[in-house]
Each structure stands twice: as structure tokens, then as C-alpha cells.
Structure 1
Amino acid sequence: MHLEEWERVNKSIGSGLLGHSLDGNKMRKILSLSYNDLPFHLKTCLLSLSKYPEDQLIRKDVLVWSWIAEGFIKHEETQGPAWKSLLEIAESYFNDLINRSLIQPAQSHAPSEQDGQVHYCQVHDMVLELINHLSAEEGFVTVLSEDGQQAGTLTSAMQKRKIRRLSLHYNSTGSYGASPEAEKEQLSKVRSLDIFGKVTLIPPLSIFGVLRVLQVDDCSGLDNHHLNDLGKLRLLRFLRLHDLKIVKLPKSIGELESLETLDIRKQVSMLRPRRMVLPVSFAKLRKLVRLLANGVELPNGLTLKNMTSLREIVGIQVTLHAVTELGKLGELKVLGLYVPRPNESSSDRGWYVTSLMMEHGMRLPPSVNEWIVKCLQLCPSLQIFILEAPHFCRYPVDLMAQFPSGLRTFICHGGYFEKAFPKWTKPQLSYLTVLHLSLHTVCVLPEHLEQLAELPSLCFLMINSVSQPYMQETLSSSSGFPCLTYLHLWSPKLFLKFQQGAMPKLQKLRLTFSPKFTFDEYNVFDYGLENLPSLRHVIIQLMGSGRTIMEMDDAIRKAVNDHPNHPSLDLLTKI
């Protein structure tokens, strides 16, 4: 289910559950009844959320894979690999909790996650209060806050129990107040350790002999020595080290023989190089299913041929060696390639030259384009392909013609197609549901839209253009787009007009443009919104300022108000 649908479900179901019309005691009673009505497996998953701080934005994939790692998700007899069926079950539990308004979907602003799906959630304050109390009562999660106090009300007898799940909430100084009063024996059975807040020290990892889940939410204050004992966590299945600054993972990571998820994503910044090098011992992680990063480098000597469980690799730097090794993973489903900026290059990427820094128009060196194409050809099972590059890099016009026939998602973040609209063969992308395109001097003509409209499964379309108008003619009913529910167009000059039947299922329309360029030429805001029968939400972002903005503002509000569905309107201004 898409985020728009979740929001409507959440409003309808949650109006009585979390509405402001009820006093606190009545809300708590309703929430308690809702919790008691849950099946056992959902109670377990919900209680696990008590480890998070208040108002924490929680990644869906982090949550569901940690459930799997802890054994909350039981395997059902289904076809396909065990991890796949477990993931489907875990996601259904996540959906159930949203349907019951016990967790709330949250928006993602990451370009690679603009696909209409739910990627984040949050826990309402009153729900968190309830599960904190229940969790403390049952000894499910032990939370140490920044003042050294435990969340919930615990008796001294409960505090003496062995801790199964430990969550440390650090303060701004990088400490969590008083050290845990638990002895080594009390921590010896900890299965999950989660640390939130900026960390400058962590408990000795050698204590946690049966740990399944380790999540450190902000590693920017950690150095290599903090991870010295990482290899001793032989039962670890889920490892998330967010925002690590170190440039090479320790060799001991290869000793994590049970590891299924390695998440080393960072906060992305133009001022911070993303480069991180995997050790050769990484190849020993035979059970690894997912590697998530923002620009990890595969060094020469590291081979992936024995890592047959790998299904998802995101954020791997494009090199000839990396492409060759990726081609050995015949069952790879998700791939994110990263073309590094010049200041991130190392000696084995001599194709970067100073002129590549030119802001206006440097093609990717032929070797890099060839490597990307080769990678696509060697990975026939790909379903999701994410390509990230500096914004001045150009892609070959026939790149999409190399896509595997089963591809469902293509997200192009940074870089652009130039001089011609991307080409592909007609039946090739029949399963494609999500498409992001970045263009430069390419004008999107009616024939290009007709080509896109023939993609039978396309649900989410986003097109960015730097300087040219998208189209100068109307979208006719023959244009199709039978499944499209989300359309986002970005261009300084933008004009289009929907005719009846053009996009029968479109629910969310987002347009970003400059009124000065658009209004001065066309002198009207008449995009034919009334011909979009399923429209529910309109987002208009106007670039610039002045009188034209005000005139366009009035025209937009009138067009949206006149729509028979009375869709919601977000009208934004970007100077």
C-alpha cells in the first residue's frame, strides 16, 4: 500500500484512537484495549518499539529486519528462499500495526526513497508511554535514558533479572548518565543492544556473547578501537552502524558468521566524502543478505563469488573490479551504484581528471559508462536499480535499453540524460512501477510521453529537467498511464494540460516550476486538473518571488478548489 493510502487509513482509523477530543485517561484505556486485542506476534513487535526515544523517526527496513534477526518472525511454509518469506511476513506485521494506528507512517525526503511507499514510521507519544510501561513490567526491553533512569516503573526484583534487550539513550555529551548497574552476568543474555544519541563510548562488546541485533544510531564520535571486539559477536545477525567516520571497516567483521544485514549508511553531505573500504575478510560473510552503504569501495582481492546469499547491495562505488564481482551474484535483486566525486577518488580510479569538476557538461568517462552497462547485463535478476552520481555527469541515451526485463524500480539521483530522451524497447519494461529521470537540455515532447504512457505497470513517475519545458501540447486520453498514481515534474518552465482519461488513477500531483518563465509565456494556469478523476493531493512549489508568484498563487488555488474531489493543496515557495 502506498503512503497516500496509509495516510487516509490512518486518519479514518486513528481519529477515535488518538484524536485530541478524548482526555488522557480515556485514550490510555482505549490504547490498552487495543493492545490487549493484538495477537501475540504483534504484541511482541509493538513492545520492541519501546527501545526508541520519543519522536524518533524509525526506518521501516531497519525495524522489520531487526524483528527477523531477533526471531520475532516465524517462518511459514511458502515457496522461495526463507529470508524472502520472513521479510514478507515481517512487512505484513508492520502494515497491521499501521492499520491499527499503533504506529504512524512518516514521510521520507531521501531522493532514493521518493517512490510513494512507506519507508519510515513514528510512535505516538501515548502509545510509547503505554508500551514503555508494559515493556518494563515484563522485562522485555531495558531502557537507560540520558539521566541514568530506566523507562517505566520497575521493582527492585525486576531490575535484578537478566536483561534481554538493552537500549541506551545518550545525551549531548556522549554518555548515558550513570553506568548500568547490571553485572556481567546480567548482560550475558542480551540479545539486542540499541544505542541512540551521539556516541563517544560504548559498552565492551565482548560482554554480549549472544547478541543478535546491534544498532548504533550515531557513530560519528566513534573510532576504530571502539569496534575492536566486533568479531566476537558470532551470533550477530543485524548490524547497523550509522554515520561511521572511519574509512575502513575492521578485519574482524569477517568473523560475524551469522550476519544477515550490514547497514553502514551515513548522513550524506557534499562536504563529507563518503568513501569507506571493505576489508578482504568481508568475503567470509556467507549468510549476508543485505549490504547498505553510501559509497563503499570493493578493494582488489575481495571476491563476492561465495557470498551466494546476497540479494541487496546499495551504495557500492563503480569500479571495474566491483562490476566484475557483482556479476557473480546471479540472484541479486537490489543494486545501488555510486559514482564518486573527484575528491573521493583513489589511485585505482585514474579516470577522474580535474576537468570533471566542470559544472556544465562532462560526460562520464567511457569506461565508467561501460562498467555500468556491463553490470546491468551481468545482473539479470535485478528488480530495483538505483544510480547515484555527481550532478554534472552524463548518462548514455541507451542506458535504459540495458535494463533487465524484470526491473521494477529505476531511480536516477544526480547525473542526467542529455541531448536525447532515454530509449528502450517497447515490451522491455513491462514490470517497471517506479521511474525517476533526470534530464538536462532535453525537452519532453508528446511522443516521449506516449512512450512512457505505454509502460503498463508504471505507478510513480518523477522527471527533473534543468532548462526546457516539459511539453507544449496536451496529454490526451490515448496517452494512457493506466496505473500511474503519483506524478512529479520539475522544471523552470513547465506547461502541460491533462485531457479527460489521460491519467485515470493519478492521486498525487507535484509540480515544481518558475512562475516567471511559465506564466509570462502562457499567461494562464490551466493544467486541466478537473480531468484527473482520482486526484487527492496537489503539491505546487513555485521558484522565485514577486508579483507573478501572487498571481499564480490565486490561479492555482482556484483550480484546486474547483476540482470535484476538493484535493488537499500544499503551496510552497522556494526563493
Structure 2
Amino acid sequence: MGPCSDSLLIDQLRSYLENKRYLVVIDDVWTKLAWETIQCALPKNANTSRIIMTTRINSLGQFCSTSDEGFMYQMKPLSRSDSENLFLKRIFCGKDKFPVQLEGIKNEILEKCDGLPLAIVTLASLLAAKPRTKEEWERALNSISYMHEKDSGLEVMDKILSLSYNELPHHMRNCLLHLGTFPEDHEIYKDILVWRWIAEGFVAEKQGYTLEQAAESYFYEFINRNLIQPITLVPRYGMCAVEEGCRVHDIVLNFLISRSVEENFVTLLDSQGLPSSDRRIRRLSVWYNPIHSMAVFRGTMDLSHLRSISICNVNAEGWAMPTVFDLPVLRVLDLEEYNDLRVVDPDGLWILFHLRYLRFGGAIGLMLPAQIGNLQYLQTLDLSGAKATQLPKSIVQLKRLVCLVGYQLIMPDGFGNMESLQELGNLDGCKCSISFGEDLALLSKLRVLRVTFMWGSTGDPRTRKESLLSALCKLGGNCLRCVYIYDNVGGGDCLADSWCPPPGRLQKFIHISKHVRFPKWITSSLCDLTYLDILVQKMEREHLRILEDLPAICSLYIDVKQVANDGLIISRGAFPSLIYFQFYNIEGPGLIFEGGMRKLEWLRLGLDADKARSTYGSVEIGIGKLPSVKSIGLTVRLISEGEHDLMEREVKSVINGQVQMLPNCPGVAIGFSRRSRLACRERGREEYATGQSIGLCEAPPVSQGLNVIQIPVPERPVHTFITHHMVSRPFVGERSDPKKEIT
């Protein structure tokens, strides 16, 4: 169903709220017209309803609260003390002593920021990257010193953002302005940004770096300068690992849009009307607005100079894309969140000779044309939202293609000729040629590889996995950095044992499958490995020692069927770089902490309480020895004793006591997976009769047996954590900023 008109939506809201008592919160209103339109949808009644509206514009706040019942609350700026603490924390990270010679200039800078948190952090982020000299700080102060005393907060921010923008190199300015092509509050994937910037020609070559690495450095530099906000996002390729992304603060976005209009960098078709006809349109971004976009697609705008076009959630009824003959120099075609094939004629794409970047964020059922091989300059082909799996044979002619991503792609024979590929996947390992590894091994520049093996797709999975392993052995010594393997077929031990020589430059490895032996190729010599996610049949103490010695590991997710008979103990001084740790051993005693892990912030554990007590003597697992932890989630399996379960009370008491010892007052939540003692006895009799080892019965599914118990921790809210198999996995990028947790 297409979007409602404003009048229809207003009528529907009024009808729904007419006789109800309601509380409506409207965030960030910018214009009087917007407020007047919103008011039309909110009926006045005698039910003591309330409306809360926020705005950054003082005069608009006064306008909205003119009624007798209206009240305007003026947000107070930060105090001088809080402003100074925020400023110093961002520049010096609380470690270095503040230079005496900068004391006076610091006070002047804080006075100009006027207690605005975003202004303080943005300016501090700029100064953090500069030499700590009085001359540099005075230069920054002089850039904003001409502001009048009565400038509004928005004007203060505009001056500070202008300073940050002007400090950037020219090519990085273009990358920052490009962020203004996305709608407000839009979640932007890092890899989409990186390949878009490359296709637009914004990324400068840097000795010793690929263009992708250079573009990633821009992304992290924008985060360090507080120009974008880092977030973690759900995966786009059917894999388990979350992905890095960002969001642009609406004040920063407003600045970027304003600067883009001034420089004619991009033409936006949003709610602001059509652009002037005398402007040369180089980049076009269409946001949710079919009315204005129809002017484009009916030929009333000159698109002969158009280099890129982005379309996001525009209803296609009544219009279609301009013909390819009207787009002679188009380099980028990005269809974001779009499911209607009428927006583009796939069979006409091959005429776009200059195309560098082609993405389908929707268009389910898309079939690529056989002539796709004619796009000889194409660098990125993103089919992640199109569900197009079978690729035409001509795709192997794309010798400049660097990034080919989608969902369960079936590659034709000969794709090893695509010599420029750096990122590929995810491949359907069961439907590609049985010897697809021979082509894969020829891709000497490959950095990122994703492969999926789905149950029921083939009768010969082992041969295909051996073909993949052979390719990995040849690629591991080249550029390979990230490998994702999702396997629900089983029999993956060959991938765990035989990677030779080991991939010395590997940074990220994910192997989601049935539990396999601990990989022999994982040794402390993997100096670049920062992210590891595997399922292991049995983990011995020597395996844990290997993981402890990995020098760069930041994120570690281990699902273990069995542990050593005498349990596992994390030693003092272990895991010096680890930030995110999950160890799931719901059928065993789990592990305990002696110390170490000084940087650990995020912890998820799964264990059997009875086995933990019998192995370690108690359920006290040593959480109180983790000084930096901020978020804790436990899944504990136990035999239920009914309403007054002694083991459950013991676990809660012990964990609560350990948490009280921690300085950060972490958020804590515990999930209990219960079975009745009678059911466990019955299973024990069956195992004894069949010669199997006696053990506790399996934990029931979440819907049948998981009960959540929250442990109150002083001065910090407890977050709900409900899971049987933990899959919430943050991603750590190449930067120091903390990541948010995916939920």
C-alpha cells in the first residue's frame, strides 16, 4: 500500500485520538508550519491529554506554548565544571596532565562553546588531533571568536562545524558532504559508504594502502572528530556478525545539507521543493517524495551532467527512471530500500558505460541482464537486497570489479578471471561448481570472503569444503583479511585442522557450524587477529592458553560443547586487548576468572550451575575481578526445585556480591534454564541402559523454559537479557571508540 496523503493521515489520527486520553511526544520541530500541521491531527478534548514538543529554536518554542495551558521549559547548558570535564576527557582521555600554558586559552574556548555538549565535543575532537601548542589552540579560537554574544546555539554549532570542515583535506570534505545525501536518522553501513566514495572518485591514493583502506581511514577519522556517530548494524549478507555503521546527528546533517547547497555538491528532492532550473545537477538524492521526483522522471530537469543518483523508499506508481540515454555520464546508481522493479529497466543497464557503482537495496526477484559484462568500468555490484543469486556468465568479464556482494551467490565457472576482486560473498558453496575453489584460488587480491553451506542443497558437501580449503590455503598468504563461513551441513573438521600455511594476516574469522575440533592453525603467531567466532566440540586448557596469547584479539565468541575435565581458568594478565567476550558452555561448568582482561567491557556467559559447583567448588566465577566490565549477561542451567529453588538463590546472591565489587556498576541480567529433577532422572536411566554417559537433559527452548531474573545493581538500570543461545555480538573496528551493543 502506498503512503497516505497528509490530509488522510491527519483525519485518521484525529479519529483515533478523539475520545482518548493521550500523551504525545514530538521530537525536534524546526518550523511553525510543521507545528501547525501536527496540531491539526491532535484533537482538543476534556481528557487532560498532553503534548510534549522539543525544538532547538527558542522563538518556535514560544510560538508553540502561547496557549493558557502551554509551558516552555528552557534546557540549561552544561555548568562550567561539567563543560570543562567533558572537554578535557575528549582531548586527553583522562590520562595526561593539562599543560599549564593552555589554561587561559582553554577558558576562552569553553566560554565560546556556551555549555553546548555537541559544540564542546566537536571542538575538542578537532583539537585532539592537533599539536598541543598555544598557537594551534589560538588559531581555533580565532576562527570562532567573531561570534556575537547573543548568537543562538545553532549559530555556535555552525561556526564550530565550519571550522572542523575547513580543517579537512579537500578529498575528505567531499566524503563528509556525501553523508548529507542520506535522510535524517538513517542508519548507514560503513561498507556502502566506502565503496560509494571510491566510485565517486573522492578517495585519494595513499602509498601502502588500497583505496578501500584509505576510505576506511576517512570513516574512522570522522568518528574521532565527532562528525559522525558510530553504531553497529544487523548483517546484510545472511551472516551472524554485526557490521559497522554510522548515523549523522541532525545538527551536523543540517550543516552538511546547507554547505552542499552552497557548493552545488548535491541536489536533494525532499520536502523543500524543486531546485533552480539554471543549476547543473551532478548528484541527485531522492528521499521518500514521489511528487517532486516525478518532475525528474518526466523529463522536466536536465540530467545530462548527472554523475550519481540515490533513490530511497520512493513509491514508483506513475513514474519510472529516466531512460539510460538521458544519463550519459552516470557513475553511481544506488537504489536504497527499494522493492519495485518498475524503478529501473535491468535490461537497459548495460548501456551505462561509465557506471562504477550499482546497488539494489531491494528489487526482490531481480534478474541481471546477460549483457552485464559490458559494464567494463564497474567497481562495485551490490545485490544484498535483491535476492538475485544466479549470476550471468558474462559477469566474469568485469575485470575492474572490486566488490561483489549479495546473498547466496552462485558464481559461473571462470570467475577466477575477475582479477581485481577484493570482497566477494556470500557464495553458495553448495550450488557453485563443485570445484569452485579452483577459481577462488586465483583471486590473489581478495581481502574479504563469505561462503555459506546450506543443508539439503547438495549431496557432496565434503568435496566442496575441501575445494574451499584448498583455496584458503593459497589465499591465506596474500591479502586475505576476513573470512566468514556459515555451515549448517556439518562435517567441517577439514576447515578446522588443515589450513596450511596459517593465514598470517587474517584479522577476522567466523565459522558458524556444528561443533568441531579446536582449529590447529590458530596459534599466537596470528598477530593481526582481532575478531574470532567459532564453535568447538571440546576446549582443553592448552587451547585457552593459545587464545590468551593472541596479542590483538578484541572480540572473542566461543560456543563450547565440552571443557577440560578439571575446568578452565583464565589466568592473570590474560587477554590484554579483549573488549567483548562470550563463552557459552550451557552443558558444562563454563570457566572462571583469576584476573586479567583489564579492558573487558562486555561479557556473556552460559554454564550449568550444578556442574560449575562440582568442578570449581562453587558458582563464584570471578566476575568481581574484571575491573572495566560494563555489561554482563548470564544464562544459567539448573535443575528446578520448584518455587524456592536454593541453587537459583545461591547464584543470584553470589553474582550480586561480585557485581557490588565492580567500579562501573555494570548492567546485569540472568536467564535461568530449568528442568525438572524427574526428567533428568528418566534421561539418566535411558543413558545408563544404552551405555551413554550420564548427564543433565537438554535445556528447553526459550518459549518453554527460560525464566529471566534481574539482579538490581545500585545506581544503574538493569537491562533485560533473554536468550537461549547468545547471538548478540558487537563488532570492534580499527579505532578506540566504544561500540554500542546490538539488541
Q: CA deviation at 1:46?
A: 2.3
SS of corresponding position for 2:350: helix
Distance 1:224 1:299, change over 3 A: farther
Q: CA deviation at 1:9?
A: 6.0
Q: Decide which of 660, 677, 682 is 1:561's aligned counterpart.
A: 660
Q: Given the two structures, how large is their TM-score scaled by the length of structure 2?
A: 0.62
Partner of 2:475: 379
SS of corresponding position for 1:414: strand
Partner of 1:166: 284
1:115-264 mapped onto 2 (5 Å cutoff): 119-145=244-270, 149-150=271-272, 158-170=276-288, 175=290, 179-181=294-296, 183=299, 186-197=302-313, 200=316, 202-206=320-324, 207-222=326-341, 226-246=345-365, 248-264=367-383
Letter in 1 for 2:118: L
Structure with the greater alpha carbon radius of gyration: 2
Partner of 1:484: 578
Distance 1:555 1:236, change over 3 A: farther
Q: Decide which of 440, 446, 460 is 2:541's aligned counterpart.
A: 446
Distance 1:518 1:45, change over 3 A: same
CA contact (8 A) 1:384 1:409 kept: yes
SS of corresponding position for 1:436: strand
Distance 1:392 1:539, change over 3 A: farther
Q: Deviation per CA, 1:403-436: give whole Å up to 9, x if none.
A: 5432423433531233x33323746634322211
Q: CA deviation at 1:514?
A: 7.0
Distance 1:197 1:459, change over 3 A: same
Q: CA deviation at 1:194?
A: 0.7
Q: Decide which of 443, 448, 451 is 1:337's aligned counterpart.
A: 451
Residue 475 of structure 1 pairs with residue 569 of structure 2: yes
Letter in 2 for 1:561: Q
Q: Number of residues paired by the alignment?
A: 516
SS of corresponding position for 1:101: coil
User: Matched residues in 1 for 2:291 and 2:648: separation?
Assistant: 50
Q: Decide which of 431, 435, 438 is 1:324's aligned counterpart.
A: 438
Partner of 2:32: none
SS of corresponding position for 2:551: coil
Q: Deviation per CA, 1:523-575: give whole Å up to 9, x if none.
A: 95522233334x24323154789877787556545423311354555551337
CA contact (8 A) 1:292 1:314 kept: yes
Distance 1:54 1:326, change over 3 A: same
Q: Deviation per CA, 1:460-519: give whole Å up to 9, x if none.
A: 211124x54688535253684343332122342453211133x34434323355779868
Gaps of 5+ in 1: 1-7, 268-273, 352-364
CA contact (8 A) 1:515 1:542 kept: no
User: Matched residues in 2 for 1:315 and 1:25: separation?
Assistant: 52
Q: Decide which of 410, 422, 426 is 1:297's aligned counterpart.
A: 410
Distance 1:500 1:478, change over 3 A: closer
Residue 432 of structure 1 pairs with residue 518 of structure 2: no
User: Matched residues in 2 for 1:190 and 1:391: separation?
Assistant: 46
CA contact (8 A) 1:279 1:299 kept: yes
SS of corresponding position for 1:564: coil
1:32-111 mapped onto 2 (5 Å cutoff): 32-37=158-163, 38=165, 39=168, 40-76=170-206, 78-79=207-208, 84=210, 86-110=211-235
Letter in 2 for 1:166: L
Q: Deviation per CA, 1:345-392: give whole Å up to 9, x if none.
A: 4xxx553xxxxxxxxxxxxx3212312212212323253343433435
SS of corresponding position for 2:157: helix
CA contact (8 A) 1:304 1:325 kept: yes
Residue 29 of structure 1 pairs with residue 155 of structure 2: yes
Q: CA deviation at 1:315?
A: 0.6
User: Matched residues in 2 for 1:536 and 1:490: separation?
Assistant: 18
Distance 1:477 1:178, change over 3 A: closer
User: Matched residues in 1 for 2:475 and 2:359: separation?
Assistant: 26
Distance 1:341 1:194, change over 3 A: farther
Partner of 1:370: 466
Distance 1:551 1:132, change over 3 A: farther
Q: Given the two structures, how large is their TM-score scaled by the length of structure 1?
A: 0.78
SS of corresponding position for 1:574: coil
Distance 1:479 1:449, change over 3 A: farther
Q: Decide which of 491, 496, 500 is 2:591's aligned counterpart.
A: 496
Letter in 2 for 1:180: A
Partner of 2:722: 573
User: Matched residues in 2 for 1:59 and 1:240: separation?
Assistant: 13
Q: CA deviation at 1:337?
A: 1.4
Partner of 1:361: none
User: Matched residues in 2 for 1:228 and 1:529: separation?
Assistant: 60
Letter in 2 for 1:432: L
User: Matched residues in 1 for 2:416 and 2:519: separation?
Assistant: 32
User: Matched residues in 2 for 1:568 and 1:189: separation?
Assistant: 54
Letter in 2 for 1:226: D
Q: CA deviation at 1:25?
A: 7.6
CA contact (8 A) 1:416 1:437 kept: no
SS of corresponding position for 2:341: coil
Cα RMSD for the two superposed structures: 3.8
Q: Deviation per CA, 1:290-336: give whole Å up to 9, x if none.
A: 11122110124x4432x221122121122424211111122322211
SS of corresponding position for 2:286: strand
User: Matched residues in 1 for 2:626 and 2:189: separation?
Assistant: 33
User: Matched residues in 2 for 1:471 and 1:9: separation?
Assistant: 47
CA contact (8 A) 1:513 1:543 kept: yes
Task: Using the aligned pairs only, state the percent identity.
Answer: 30
User: Matched residues in 2 for 1:166 and 1:491: separation?
Assistant: 52
SS of corresponding position for 1:72: coil
CA contact (8 A) 2:469 2:499 kept: yes
Partner of 1:265: 384
Letter in 1 for 2:632: I
Q: CA deviation at 1:55?
A: 1.5
Distance 1:243 1:321, change over 3 A: farther
Distance 1:31 1:549, change over 3 A: farther
User: Matched residues in 2 for 1:377 and 1:456: separation?
Assistant: 23
